[in-house]
């Protein structure tokens, strides 16, 4: 199986589905990660940009990412990019990877970049192309998915759970690689916070640790 994870920023892929990435890699699946944005000057320093990429390489090595696509649009400024251009970029990514399973950010996340990427991903994943994706799921990101204005459109309502009991340590090690993004507990983006969410999602379905997703579309064959 070929798996594609589309992430607005470096670390979203690990926060949202780092356990599943490790699980799919262990199973021998071909795992691709597409990071849409990166820090750009003058908002970010040269040192930060260089360190961000180094951290990403460490994180990906810890969960077994097989292939990495770096779109390199400006972080926190995706709303300055015409939507049709981003639609086209992600369509090209999907055409190149030809995935069976795709993970995208939740449309109700607080960060505007997440919303824009989710919209573009859904355009790229329309089932009217030669290659049709079998499964599309949205993942949750601590401090983005749970911090938006509460309403029915923003709600993350998981209906798919993956047992990551055997992969939780790989997920935590990967996030340790993103040192610049980690915070001290009780911050949401702390190792304790990440583990607590995995525990909560796990006990919901009777496992020690899990990641939760919203199934957007699945085509049974």
Quick one: pLDDT at residue 35?
98
Strand 67-74 and strand 101-105: pairing? unpaired
Quick one: pLDDT at residue 86?
98
Phi, psi angle pair for 30, to nearest 5°:
-90, 110
Q: Where are the alpha helices (DSSP H) in the chain?
A: 12-26, 46-63, 83-97, 112-124, 168-177, 191-204
Each residue's pLDDT tens digit, 20-61: 999 999 999 999 999 999 998 888 898 988 999 999 999 999
Q: Do 37 and 156 meet the contact criterion of CB atoms below 8 Å apart?
A: no
Question: Which residue reads 């639609």 in tokens?
Answer: 87
Q: How confident is the model at residue 221 (pLDDT cuts 50, 70, 90)?
A: confident
Quick one: pLDDT at residue 110?
97
Quick one: pLDDT at residue 12?
98
Residues with Cβ within 8 Å of residue 199, at least 6 apart in sequence:
208, 209
CA atoms of 143 and 123, how far apart (whole Å):
26
Quick one: pLDDT at residue 42?
86
Instruction: Pick the closest to residue 25 from 41, 7, 5 (CA basis).
Output: 5
Rg (CA), the chain: 16
Each residue's pLDDT tens digit, 62-118: 999 999 999 999 999 999 999 999 999 999 999 999 999 999 999 999 999 999 999
Each residue's pLDDT tens digit, 104-154: 999 999 999 999 999 999 999 999 988 889 999 999 999 999 999 999 999
For 142, the token pair is 């601590």
For 58, the token pair is 């460490």
Q: Do 75 and 43 meet the contact criterion of CB atoms below 8 Å apart?
A: yes
DSSP summary character for residue 149: P
pTM: 0.97
């Amino acid at each position: 199986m070929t798996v594609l994870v589309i992430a607005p920023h470096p670390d979203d892929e690990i926060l949202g589905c780092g356990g599943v990435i490790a699980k799919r890699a262990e199973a021998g699946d071909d795992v691709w990660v597409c990071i849409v944005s990166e820090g750009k000057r003058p908002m970010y320093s040269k040192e930060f940009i260089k360190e961000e990429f180094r951290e990403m390489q460490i994180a990906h090595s810890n969960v077994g990412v097989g292939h990495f696509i770096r779109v390199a649009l400006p972080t926190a400024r995706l709303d300055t990019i015409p939507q049709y251009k981003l639609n086209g970029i992600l369509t090209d990514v999907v055409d190149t990877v030809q995935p069976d399973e795709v993970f995208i950010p939740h449309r109700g996340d607080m960060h505007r970049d997440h919303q824009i990427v989710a919209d573009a991903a859904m355009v790229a994943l329309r089932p009217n192309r030669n290659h049709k994706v079998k499964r599309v799921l949205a993942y949750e990101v601590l401090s983005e998915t749970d911090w938006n204005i509460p309403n029915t459109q923003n709600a993350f309502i998981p209906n798919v759970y993956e047992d990551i009991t055997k992969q939780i340590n790989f997920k935590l090690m990967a996030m340790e690689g993103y040192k610049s993004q980690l915070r001290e507990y009780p911050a949401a983006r702390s190792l304790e916070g990440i583990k607590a969410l995995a525990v909560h999602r796990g006990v919901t379905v009777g496992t020690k640790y899990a990641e939760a997703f919203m199934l957007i579309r699945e085509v049974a064959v």
